[in-house]
């Protein structure tokens, strides 16, 4: 609760600073504010508070996932100063909307009622429609926002229809009561409840970008300004997966066989299609879009193999994925700034001219592939182990196969950087920017070496 209040106040504060014209104050305020709300979030650890008739339930898992979301946003804001350095227009509106989007995603990790889930998703979505189109002069940005908006509001309709049917069948919007209903009626579930469940899965699958509802993701990611794409690929993705996880682990564990096959098929499709299509992408940004799609497939494993340990595994996975993806986007911002595009040819010769950046990008991509001893490997290991415990042998085999395919595209930029001769360009990263990237890389390595830090928390 204090998280939501502090973040909302932070957003309003940024708008007020914009009104006063204090542009230089924005970033310091945001960074301090995010740290304060991170501290406030962590202070809710082990308290297990229920707010306002079960509207919000702040248990340990929601504290942990909210902290990851806030921390990732903090990491992304560290790049903002560099990304927007030559921009004359006031930035208070973009920053404030980013913070409000974060509020929406925090709501999605701690809802106790389907109304709160819906409001969280919509706050996040509306903020993202605006952010995707925030570069108004670029036609690609316009196109991204229109596609995202039309598809998003269309699929929101399915989500709502699903919630309406669940309400009609169970007579309540409260998660505990729906859960009680499924336990009571597990043997003879009404077809209306099943239909509602499937429509709900469709709606959420769109927000997460799960195959076959993923087709918007590469276009929207490519058209959106890069800094905001980093936000979409990490915070939004993790928040939506966590919402799915929370919903299924709280409400529907009693009727497992109803949804198990559907989610199984969706997870396999996501992993295979995401990785195979990733092989054919011409540039790093689209490649990262497909990488994020396939990673959401891996994270679906945690939803399928629900147990106390799968929450731990999802937490580690979300942290590892977010940190590595933010690093990759940090380098992507530099290359796009210097070259104007992010084709794989632009990375040629980077290894010699900018050794630090090249090493950091390499480590981030290796972590995303899942090479030991990096964070991505440990996360995948724990995730697959929990899935195996529940007996999903084929799913794990297909997921490992997917990771093997992903080597094909994650190594493309690495090969360009080190093995191809190119004229090479000097990336204009300031000292602070470089330090931040190195810090992120160290974090990736540390998470890989000491996963126990996150793995036995929940």
Contact residues for other proteins, defined by CB under 8 A: 4, 8, 11-12, 15, 51-53, 55-56, 88-89, 93-94, 96-97, 100-101, 103-104, 107, 113-116, 118-119, 122-123, 126-127, 129-130, 133-134, 136-137, 139-140, 142-147, 149-150, 153-154, 156-157, 160-161, 163-164, 167-168, 171-174, 190-192, 195, 215, 218-219, 222-223
Name which of 97 and 440 has its Cβ closer to other proteins.
97
Residues 6+ apart with CB under 8 A from 109: 61, 62, 65, 66, 69, 239, 242, 243, 246
CA dist 308 and 313 (Å) reads: 9
Name which of 132 and 440 has its Cβ closer to other proteins.
132
CA dist 232 and 326 (Å) reads: 11
- Check if the beta carbon of residue 127 is closer than 8 Å to that of residue 115: no
Name which of 162 and 297 has its Cβ closer to other proteins.
162
Kindly calculate the radius of gyration of the chain based on its CA atoms and give it in whole angstroms.
Answer: 21
Name which of 98 and 266 has its Cβ closer to other proteins.
98
Name which of 138 and 405 has its Cβ closer to other proteins.
138
Residue 393 buriedness (CB in 10 A; 0-12 / 13-18 / 19+): exposed
- Rounded to a whole number of angstroms, the minimum distance from the CB of residue 82 to other proteins is 21
CA dist 377 and 382 (Å) reads: 9
Measure Cα distances from 329 to 9, 102, 167, 422 in Å: 28, 19, 41, 22
Name which of 341 and 435 has its Cβ closer to other proteins.
341
- Rounded to a whole number of angstroms, the minimum distance from the CB of residue 377 to other proteins is 33
- Rounded to a whole number of angstroms, the minimum distance from the CB of residue 211 to other proteins is 14
* Residue count of the chain: 458
- Rounded to a whole number of angstroms, the minimum distance from the CB of residue 135 to other proteins is 11
Name which of 135 and 436 has its Cβ closer to other proteins.
135
- Residue 58 phi/psi, 5-degree rounding, is -100, 90
CA dist 412 and 444 (Å) reads: 20
- Rounded to a whole number of angstroms, the minimum distance from the CB of residue 388 to other proteins is 36
- Rounded to a whole number of angstroms, the minimum distance from the CB of residue 145 to other proteins is 5
- Rounded to a whole number of angstroms, the minimum distance from the CB of residue 407 to other proteins is 25
Name which of 93 and 445 has its Cβ closer to other proteins.
93
Comparing CA positions, the residue from 259, 250, 142, 264 lying closest to residue 210 is 264
- Rounded to a whole number of angstroms, the minimum distance from the CB of residue 57 to other proteins is 12
Name which of 127 and 320 has its Cβ closer to other proteins.
127
- Rounded to a whole number of angstroms, the minimum distance from the CB of residue 169 to other proteins is 9
Name which of 88 and 261 has its Cβ closer to other proteins.
88
Residue 126: both structure tokens together: 């509306």
Name which of 114 and 288 has its Cβ closer to other proteins.
114
CA dist 447 and 164 (Å) reads: 42
- Rounded to a whole number of angstroms, the minimum distance from the CB of residue 146 to other proteins is 6
Name which of 101 and 395 has its Cβ closer to other proteins.
101
- Rounded to a whole number of angstroms, the minimum distance from the CB of residue 123 to other proteins is 5
- Rounded to a whole number of angstroms, the minimum distance from the CB of residue 221 to other proteins is 10
C-alpha dihedral sign at 241, 242, 245, 251? negative
């Amino acid at each position: 609760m204090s998280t939501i209040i502090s973040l909302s106040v932070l957003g309003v504060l940024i708008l007020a600073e914009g009104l006063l014209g204090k542009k230089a104050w924005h970033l310091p305020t945001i960074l301090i504010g995010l740290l304060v709300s991170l501290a406030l979030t962590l202070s809710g650890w082990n308290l297990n508070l229920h707010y306002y008739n079960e509207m919000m339930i702040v248990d340990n898992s929601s504290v942990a996932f909210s902290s990851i979301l806030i921390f990732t946003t903090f990491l992304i804001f560290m790049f903002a100063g560099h990304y927007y350095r030559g921009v004359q227009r006031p930035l208070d509106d973009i920053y404030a909307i980013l913070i409000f989007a974060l509020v929406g995603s925090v709501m999605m990790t701690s809802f106790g009622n389907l109304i709160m889930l819906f409001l969280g998703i919509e706050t996040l979505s509306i903020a993202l429609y605006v952010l995707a189109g925030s570069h108004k002069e670029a036609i690609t940005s316009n196109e991204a926002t229109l596609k995202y908006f039309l598809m998003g509001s269309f699929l929101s309709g399915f989500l709502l229809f699903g919630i309406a049917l669940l309400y009609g069948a169970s007579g309540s919007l409260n998660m505990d009561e729906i859960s009680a209903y499924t336990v009571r009626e597990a043997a003879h579930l009404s077809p209306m409840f099943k239909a509602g469940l499937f429509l709900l899965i469709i709606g959420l699958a769109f927000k997460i970008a799960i195959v076959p509802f993923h087709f918007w993701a590469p276009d929207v990611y490519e058209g959106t300004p890069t800094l905001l794409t980093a936000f979409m690929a990490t915070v939004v993705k993790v928040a939506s997966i966590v919402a799915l996880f929370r919903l299924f682990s709280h409400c529907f564990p009693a009727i497992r066989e109803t949804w198990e096959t559907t989610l199984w098929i969706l997870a396999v499709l996501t992993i295979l299609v995401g990785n195979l299509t990733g092989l054919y992408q011409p540039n790093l940004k689209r490649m990262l879009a497909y990488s994020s799609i396939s990673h959401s497939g891996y994270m679906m494993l945690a939803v399928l193999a629900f147990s106390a340990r799968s929450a731990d595994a999802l937490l580690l996975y979300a942290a590892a994925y977010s940190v590595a993806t933010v690093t990759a986007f940090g380098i992507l911002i530099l290359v796009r700034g210097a070259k104007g595009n992010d084709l794989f040819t632009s990375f040629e010769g980077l290894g010699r001219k900018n050794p630090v950046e090249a090493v950091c990008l390499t480590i981030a991509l290796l972590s995303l592939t899942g090479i030991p001893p990096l964070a991505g490997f440990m996360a995948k290991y724990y995730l697959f182990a929990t899935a195996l415990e529940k007996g999903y042998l084929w799913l794990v085999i297909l997921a490992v196969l997917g990771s093997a395919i992903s080597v094909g595209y994650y190594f493309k930029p690495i090969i360009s950087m080190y093995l191809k001769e190119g004229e090479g360009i000097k990336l204009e990263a300031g000292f602070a920017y470089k330090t931040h990237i190195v810090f992120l890389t160290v974090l990736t390595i540390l998470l890989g070496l000491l996963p126990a830090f996150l793995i036995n928390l929940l």
